[in-house]
């Protein structure tokens, strides 16, 4: 069974694509992978940012009150 790709609701047999169309499809697949990788990196960086904000808040509270908030939860 040959592979197919769906474009605008129409299935196309990959074997029937021209060499140029196959090259464009390869670029499209690469672009999709880059988008997914970038999306994953953005999620990771967002999580790190939130963690740093929490650390900063704890440090600021400790500096003002002298109480190590993290030690209360250990």
Confidence (pTM): 0.69
Where along the chain do its domains lie? 18-72
Q: How confident is the model at residue 15, as a pLDDT?
A: 92
Q: Which residues of 15-41 are buried (b: 16+ CB within 10 A; e: fewer)?
A: eeeeeeeeeeeeeeeeeeeeeeeeeee
Convert the pLDDT of each residue in 6-51 to its tens digit.
Answer: 999 999 999 999 999 999 999 999 999 999 999 999 999 999 999 9
Q: How confident is the model at residue 34, as a pLDDT?
A: 99
Which residues face 11 on adjacent strands? 6
- Choose between 72 and 53: higher pLDDT: 53
The pLDDT-based confidence of 2 (bands split at 50, 70, 90) is confident
Residue 67 to residue 70: CA distance in whole angstroms: 9
């Amino acid at each position: 069974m040959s592979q197919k790709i769906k474009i605008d609701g129409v299935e196309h047999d990959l074997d029937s694509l021209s060499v140029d169309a196959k090259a464009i499809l390869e670029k499209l697949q690469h672009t999709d992978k880059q988008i997914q990788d970038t999306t994953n990196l953005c999620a990771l960086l967002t999580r790190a940012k939130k963690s740093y904000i929490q650390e900063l808040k704890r440090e600021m509270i400790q500096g003002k009150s002298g109480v190590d908030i993290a030690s209360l939860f250990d």
